[in-house]
Structure 1
Amino acid sequence: MDLKITHVRIETFGGGLLRSGSELERVTHVANPDGGWIYTKEDAINRINLGIDTFYTHPDGLLAGGRTDVEVVNPQGRAAYLRTNPNNEKADNLLSLPRC
């Protein structure tokens, strides 16, 4: 299925600050409450890798009108994580979505 992510749950790390002065945040769950589903980051990664589902964001009011696909990143020596395909639109980033 092709699933629209509308909300996320995040984990905030204290002490470590980004250059911008904000705290470090990591997505732990992706969700669509209206669609009746929520997945852990690990479940979403597995569903993408197995070809069961694809995920995307499309924030309301996004002027460009397009969707942004979510991809799995597998950095060497670290746990896999989710991110939107890089572009110049901040509104479609996972960390910009409402919390659930």
Structure 2
Amino acid sequence: MKCIPIDSADKLQSLELELNDPTSKNFLMKKVGGTNGSEFVVRNLRKIFVDSFASKTSWCGQRNNISISNLKLIQLLQDVTDSIFKVTDKEFEKTASE
């Protein structure tokens, strides 16, 4: 994942394209770790997004921000989180959208 950390919309788009390749999904998310699902999600998002860019995103794209809820990256994070911690969709969405 050459694009991480993401600090621009262009890098985000490049990463989304890279995730179309099944071999690129060998992602380092599991190495970031966490003691529970919420901590795992927060730690990964902090590693993936630079703070200055993260402030320009929101779950649904409110206030002219970039929407992240439908990204392949977020789906991958949810899948990995669920495989480790068995979190519900609601728990994941609540944590990822904060």
TM-score by length of structure 2 reads 0.27
Q: Please identify which structure carries the higher helix content.
A: 2
TM-score by length of structure 1 reads 0.27
